[in-house]
């Protein structure tokens, strides 16, 4: 028992040391793993800076009766799966709706936009009257590098200028990804793609 407690204490000390060293170097920390955010030197924002990937995407085995090309989002797991042939999927980390803004259902991608403008919906402006009425697309825009609009809803799968929120429940119902990941998904997805959101 004492050995297990010691090992746990060492692990905590290791996380603290990583966090302190990374903070001293100005590196962001993944809030879930306490590891430094991975910088992808091949993915650059409009300002030329590397785009952070909080939760590395990976190809995984995937069971489920979904046609390849379907997007399946597990809000409980805070992961998005892009279904591939042969029982596999690409798994991405996502941010999801905060308590009170969770939802589920099946939709389709109705539009795709690169560096989209953002016009907060009236419901959001009532909650947050301090928000701008319109914001042009760009690196500071909350929708990030790409957006895929979900037909019949106010929701989108979109990028984010806050990579530290990936893996969290913080949005007003939209599905957030890092800019690096949303660009990768955007290039795979077509208008009409089925999106299944599970709680």
- Active site residue: 4, 10, 134, 158, which one? 158
Overall pTM surpassing 0.85 (yes/no): no
Least confident of 29-33, 53-57, 164-168: 29-33
158 and 87 both lie in a single domain: yes
C-alpha to C-alpha distance for 46 and 115, rounded to whole angstroms: 10
- Give the CATH number for residue 177: 2.40.440.10
Give CA–CA dist 148/183, Å, rounded: 10
CA-to-CA dists, residue 72 to 12, 19, 57, 77, 138, angstroms: 34, 33, 15, 11, 27
- Higher-confidence residue of 137 and 171: namely 171
For residue 33, what pLDDT is reported? 38
Q: Which of 3-12, 63-72, 121-130 has the lowest mean pLDDT?
A: 3-12
Q: Is residue 7 part of a domain?
A: yes
Same domain? 149 vs 77: yes
What is the rounded average pLDDT for all residues in the chain? 79
- Our count of domains for the chain comes to 2
Structure confidence at residue 35 as a pLDDT band (50, 70, 90)? very low
pLDDT single digits (tens) 146-178? 999 999 998 999 999 888 899 999 898 999 999
User: Do 26 and 74 belong together in one domain?
Assistant: no
15 shares its domain with 84? no
- Residue 13 domain-assigned? yes
Asked, for residue 48, whether it belongs to a domain, the answer is no
Give the rounded percent of residues in the chain with a pLDDT score beyond 90: 51
Beta strands 88-93 and 79-84: pairing type? antiparallel
Domain membership flag for residue 125: yes
| Domain co-membership, 141 together with 174 | yes
Catalytic site includes residue 174: yes
Residue numbers of the domain that contains 102: 58-198
Per-residue confidence (pLDDT) for residue 150, from 0 to 100 = 97
Whether residue 4 lies in the annotated active site: no
Tokens of 24: 């001293």
> Is 46 inside a domain boundary?
no
19 within domain boundaries: yes
For the segment 106-128, the average pLDDT, to the nearest whole number, is: 87
Task: Verify that 9 and 81 share a domain, yes or no.
Answer: no
Angstrom distances, CA of residue 82 to CA of 162, 171, 190: 22, 21, 12
Q: Is the dihedral of CA 110, 196, 142, 37 positive or negative?
A: negative
Q: Are 160 and 95 in contact (CB under 8 A)?
A: yes
Closest alpha carbon to 93 in 80, 76, 74: 80
Residues 95 and 26 grouped into a single domain: no
């Amino acid at each position: 028992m004492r050995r297990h407690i010691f090992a746990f204490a060492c692990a905590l000390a290791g996380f603290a040391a990583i966090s302190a060293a990374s903070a001293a170097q100005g590196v962001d920390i993944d809030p879930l793993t306490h590891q430094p955010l991975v910088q992808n030197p091949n993915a650059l924002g409009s300002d030329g800076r590397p785009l952070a990937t909080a939760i590395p995407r990976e190809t995984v085995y995937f069971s489920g009766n979904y046609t390849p090309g379907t997007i399946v989002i597990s809000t409980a797991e805070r992961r998005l799966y892009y279904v591939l042939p042969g029982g596999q999927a690409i798994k991405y980390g996502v941010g999801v709706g905060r308590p009170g803004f969770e939802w589920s259902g099946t939709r389709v991608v109705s539009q795709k936009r690169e560096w989209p403008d953002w016009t907060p919906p009236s419901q959001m402006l009532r909650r947050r009257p301090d928000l701008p009425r319109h914001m042009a697309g760009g690196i500071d825009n909350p929708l990030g590098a790409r957006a895929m609009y979900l037909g019949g809803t106010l929701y989108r799968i979109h990028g984010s200028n806050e990579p530290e929120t990936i893996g969290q429940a913080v949005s007003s119902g939209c599905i957030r990804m890092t800019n690096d990941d949303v660009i990768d998904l955007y290039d795979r997805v077509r208008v009409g793609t089925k999106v299944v959101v599970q709680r």
